[in-house]
Amino acid sequence: MKILFSSLLLFIGSVSFVSAQDHNHNDPNHKHPEATKEKAVKKKKDAITFKTLTIERNDIPYGSDETFSFEFKNTGKEPIIVSNVQTSCGCTKAKSPEAPVAPKKSAEIAVKYDTKRVGGFTKTITVTTNVGEPIVLTIKGTVLPENKTAEPAKQAPSTKSAE
């Protein structure tokens, strides 16, 4: 019974595999739609270039007004419209350009994190435009406890003896 069942599964799998093959693989004029689509997305994605996709800051003072600025340039031939900027949490706010960004012009996505939350953080910001797939930006950092500042560099103890 097990042999019969295994043989049946093998037969069905083989038939499915053979029928799923592309019958136009010998036709030089046949274009694969997936490959064409991928090239189009890549061309459009290259129309927007961010200077960086991740910004990391440590020792951020508690309650400070910290802004992370993601600069980008329109390297394409059509205006870029930022249609949506979505943050991963309510503790992060983002502001995008309201007007379209003309070709060869630059703009920024300004991101603010609630610095009344002590400790390390990693937050993402998803930017949707009219050119290509959404782009994910990341902010990382550490907020110091209230009334603490970044420690100054420690000096090595003196080896001189008191005279």
Q: Are 67 and 111 in contact (CB under 8 A)?
A: yes
CA pair distance 23, 30, nearest whole angstrom: 10
Is residue 115 one of the residues assigned to a domain? yes
DSSP reduced 3-state for 68: strand
Q: How many domains does the chain have?
A: 1
104's torsion region: left (phi>0), alpha (psi -120 to 50) or beta? left
pLDDT exceeding 70 applies to what percent of the chain? Answer: 63
pLDDT band at 46 (very low <50, low <70, confident <90, very high): confident
- Exposed/middle/buried for 112, CB within 10 Å: 0-12, 13-18, 19+? middle
Q: What is the DSSP letter of 41?
A: H
Is residue 136 one of the residues assigned to a domain? yes
- Bridge-partner residues for 65, per DSSP? none
Domain boundaries, position 116: 43-143
Segment 91-150, tens digit of pLDDT = 999 999 999 999 999 999 999 999 999 999 999 999 999 998 999 999 999 999 998 655
User: In this structure, what CATH number is given to the domain that contains residue 135?
Assistant: 2.60.40.10
Is residue 79 one of the residues assigned to a domain? yes
Question: How confident is the model at residue 147, as a pLDDT?
Answer: 80
Is residue 53 one of the residues assigned to a domain? yes
Is residue 27 one of the residues assigned to a domain? no
